Amino acid sequence: RHVAIVMDGNGRWAKKRFMPRFFGHKQGVDALVRTVQACADRGIEFLTVFAFSSENWKRPSDEVSGLMGLVLVAVSKYLTKLAKEGVRIRIVGDRSAVSDKVREAWDQAERATEHNRRITLSVAFNYGGRWDVVQATRRALADGVAPEAIDEATLDRYMAMHYAPDPDLFIRTGGEVRISNFLLWQVAYSELYFTD
């Protein structure tokens, strides 16, 4: 029902071909659109991708600003196509650090696709698994849940991905063999698959 992917290695892919890293990220967006279609065609209900981790802010500023610009380009280029194909888009992560323009693009994508049910594409952006556990705990406490009443089921309702089942399959491309703070809570029982 649910596949999670760490989309890694785009910059290295471009560098290997003597292209700027940004070109690799652009190719990654195109690959993502093909992946969404392939998952939808196979009846997968949820696809979650790690687009930008909370640690990615440490990258060179020109690369970070290029990635932010790519968000805007991707929304304008692919939103209508994905919406017509029944894709629901949800953004998970800490929205406070991104520009108003990027936030508005996300809001537009979510509003335009909120009634679609063929597949839900969750894009983890400025997301970290540890952040997710902390924010869930804070929200539960803010809602008046007594500390002794917090258990797995209660906390699960406050997680950023509360609307989706836990991933059945976790894929990481790009040759790294680690989870890298992605969906730490949710991948406890996922099958892990790493590619070069």
Catalytic residues: 8, 56
C-alpha closest to that of 36 among 122, 165, 107, 124: 122
Alpha helices per DSSP H over the chain: 10-16, 21-41, 61-84, 100-113, 129-142, 152-156
Q: If residue 159 lies in a helix (H) or strand (E), which one and from where to where? A: none
**Nearest by Cα to 156 from 138, 179, 180, 133:** 133
Q: Rounded to whole angstroms, how far apart are CA atoms 53 and 152?
A: 24
Angle at 66 between CA 65 and CA 70, to 5 degrees: 115
**Beta carbons within 10 angstroms of residue 119's beta carbon:** 23
What is the C-alpha to C-alpha distance for residues 18 and 173, in angstroms, rounded to an integer? 20
Percentage helix, strand, coil, to 5, in the chain? Answer: 50, 20, 35
